[in-house]
Structure 1
């Protein structure tokens, strides 16, 4: 039997990158999947490619900043496939030009990120949970970020929103566990999605790799496979957790890479 055979999954932000990886892996492992994305054409194209492989996948529009659009996505999933048993809340946005330190941050940008990154998780869960209760249970998975677990020089709103996602994950798990609904988070590090490869300066990529415990960056499937595990019954006794999939970036004393370089220079 495939790992998520019989499950019905809604993946938000599923047209590319991490979301597409998770949607693809779940579909290949037996789930019926709805890919929802602001890029409606991208969602439809991704769904069609998976349909050509004989998989049950639909692609629809989603504006994660709009309550009605989120409800429509959940309703579509239930109408199309009869229920919803997996919800992957994956949408997340940031703006490096506006999301700055706390003195200089654009306050409208703060509100936008809290709405899209955090409230969308609340609303997706709010609309999906009653259907999951009727179905006898389900799994909600939320994309947090390594930014949820440490301070940074910028991206104050992004980090705060993702930290709130990690805590909301615990609240949902505590409130609905007796209904056989699990809720977990995934906190990616720097993942080499097409967007990261095309837009991230090489100097930044090298900097992140230097401070990873592992000598390489993550790929989209590293997150997708974690989501697949959390969607499956293999993780049936795991709830309220946010799994950091970030190559050990925060694992050790931050001076270790510099210390290793110094020791190598002195022959030790």
Structure 2
């Protein structure tokens, strides 16, 4: 207990999934948490659950596609708790119907994803950093994705926007490290959030598991615990890094899983 005692955290996309897990874990470890989400009622419920468990939390509306909304969320955090020392830029979106291959991608969707997925990280950091400087330091954590490190047949804008997050993380860390402000990223693989469970068939989940180095999928708390570590002083000498939390899915030669299956068949 107390790993982030009395730190002040803003968690974007905090109403569900990874954001919900992170907000809850940070509060359990002593942080004062602002839960920000487009789904304000969901954010309020998360904050209320934290209060019910003895933590400190409030909710605020956030439209990650709006600069003013992002600034308002930062200002609200400072008004509520006096400062901000942890910023978790977690909002991200994709659209498989429009975010296609390079020839067929909807160009308006490209602009939208760059704005929501990458520019929101820039803006959240832009408005939080001056407060962190006054506070003597802070930790910014950004949600990237394994899509930043590997190509795919679709989701061109999503992958490019998340690659931008990975590199922007390094730039923030470089520019503000002397102010005792650290910036790191976390790159999830497939995580079994409620949305993933609802939208993915068992056949698709089995394909992902086949190529994992580990014999199971990730859960939201696997990312939440990584963010907690990066927010805490336990990681005080880590900055500019993006930790890949993906069960070893991208670790090996992609043919390994098929060779394992082939050898198993030969033994039987």
Q: Where does structure 2 lack aligned partners over 5 or more consecutive residues?
A: none
How many pairs does the alignment contain? 268
Deviation at 1:176, TM superposition (A): 0.2
Alignment-derived partner of residue 260 in structure 1: 260
| Offset from partner CA, 1:66-85 (integer Å, 9 cap, x none) | 00000000000000000000
Q: TM-score, normalised by structure 2?
A: 0.99
Alignment-derived partner of residue 53 in structure 2: 53
Alignment-derived partner of residue 163 in structure 1: 163
Alignment-derived partner of residue 183 in structure 2: 183
Alignment-derived partner of residue 110 in structure 1: 110
Alignment-derived partner of residue 230 in structure 1: 230
CA distance in 2, matches of 1:173, 1:87: 13
Alignment-derived partner of residue 210 in structure 2: 210
Alignment-derived partner of residue 124 in structure 1: 124
CA distance in 2, matches of 1:109, 1:92: 13
Runs of 4+ in structure 1 off by over 4 angstroms are none
Q: TM-score, normalised by structure 1?
A: 0.99
| Offset from partner CA, 1:53-102 (integer Å, 9 cap, x none) | 12110011000000000000000000000000000000000000000000
SS of residue matched to 2:140: strand
The Cα RMSD (Å) is 0.8
Deviation at 1:136, TM superposition (A): 0.1
Matches within 5 A, 1:1-268: 2-267=2-267
| Offset from partner CA, 1:6-63 (integer Å, 9 cap, x none) | 1000000000000010000000000000000000110011111111112110011000
CA distance in 2, matches of 1:95, 1:227: 25
CA distance in 2, matches of 1:246, 1:149: 12
Deviation at 1:200, TM superposition (A): 1.0
Q: Where does structure 1 lack aligned partners over 5 or more consecutive residues?
A: none
Deviation at 1:103, TM superposition (A): 0.3
